[in-house]
A and B are shown apart, each in its own frame.
Chain A
Amino acid sequence: KAGVTQTPRYLIKTRGQQVTLSCSPISGHRSVSWYQQTPGQGLQFLFEYFSETQRNKGNFPGRFSGRQFSNSRSEMNVSTLELGDSALYLCASSSTAGDSPLHFGNGTRLTVT
């Protein structure tokens, strides 16, 4: 069974630009969550989608948005990039929303210059 796939693996953007990251969950998983990982802040929750609906949202500004498609694939978008947005963005899928464990992809490393 293929794991969680995130594309691209690496991305370099300039301050002020916008970026879209993609995540394909494990086949059959309907819940997708996004996390931002930085050395100083650890793993911070961005949002969770289940059946195309946002179920939970973390404490991030509105520049961070996401969506989920009918095939459970998900995208997150960051607009008006800031230097502080440089981080590893991790996507995780689970079989149902609730207490099913998260299975992570290898992340997208975003560098904002």
Chain B
Amino acid sequence: GQQLNQSPQSMFIQEGEDVSMNCTSSSIFNTWLWYKQDPGEGPVLLIALYKAGELTSNGRLTAQFGITRKDSFLNISASIPSDVGIYFCAGQRTGNQFYFGTGTSLTVIP
């Protein structure tokens, strides 16, 4: 099935730094979601986006629905150790399945 291109694949950053990651697709989506997954657990929903150009925040996290509707971006400001995990994007055309990105593994160095 289709997988979204997510980059970077992994990141190693110092605590307090900002983080940016993005997700691109060859298809137009109506919905973009961002998830975080910790080891041994299921993905947890961070932010949901429903409109091109939409910018939504959840605490230190901010995500944007790209204007072309083929991409989305996630930013984390002032990273802390508990931000460690794998971040996934997911996109959907209404009524169809969600397609997931390949994940960005984030390591925060104290």
B-side contacts of A35, CB under 8 Å: 100
Looking at the complex, which of B11-19, B40-48, B56-64, B66-74 is the stretch in contact with chain A?
B40-48
Q: Binding site of A, secondary structure by majority: helix, strand, loop or mixed?
A: strand
B-side contacts of A42, CB under 8 Å: 3, 100-103
A-side contacts of B65, CB under 8 Å: none
**A32 contacts the other chain (Cβ, under 8 Å)?**
no
A104 touches B97 (CB 8 A): no
Contact check: which of B3, B30, B31, B95 meets A97 at CB < 8 Å? B95
Q: Closest residue to B29 on the A side, CB-wise?
A: A99
Encode contact with B along A44-79: 1 for CB under 8 Å, 0 otherwise. Answer: 110010000000101100000000000000000000
B1 touches A56 (CB 8 A): no
**B92 contacts the other chain (Cβ, under 8 Å)?**
yes
**A21 contacts the other chain (Cβ, under 8 Å)?**
no
Contact check: which of B31, B42, B92, B94 meets A104 at CB < 8 Å? B42
**A4 to B50 CA separation, bound complex (whole angstroms):** 23
B31 touches A99 (CB 8 A): yes
B41 touches A106 (CB 8 A): yes
Q: Closest residue to A45 on the B side, CB-wise?
A: B97
Q: Closest residue to A58 on the B side, CB-wise?
A: B1
Encode contact with A along B74-110: 1 for CB under 8 Å, 0 otherwise. Answer: 0000000000000010101011111111110000000
Contact check: which of B42, B95, B98, B102 meets A106 at CB < 8 Å? B42
**A110 contacts the other chain (Cβ, under 8 Å)?**
no
B103 touches A56 (CB 8 A): no
B98 touches A102 (CB 8 A): yes
**A35 to B41 CA separation, bound complex (whole angstroms):** 14
A-B contact pairs, 9 of them (CB 8 A): A42-B3, A56-B97, A58-B1, A98-B95, A99-B30, A99-B31, A102-B98, A104-B42, A104-B45
Which A-B residue pairs are the 5 nearest by beta carbons? Answer: A104-B42, A43-B100, A99-B31, A101-B48, A45-B97
Question: Interface residues, chain B, CB within 8 Å of chain A?
Answer: 1, 3, 30-31, 33, 35, 40-45, 48, 50, 88, 90, 92, 94-103
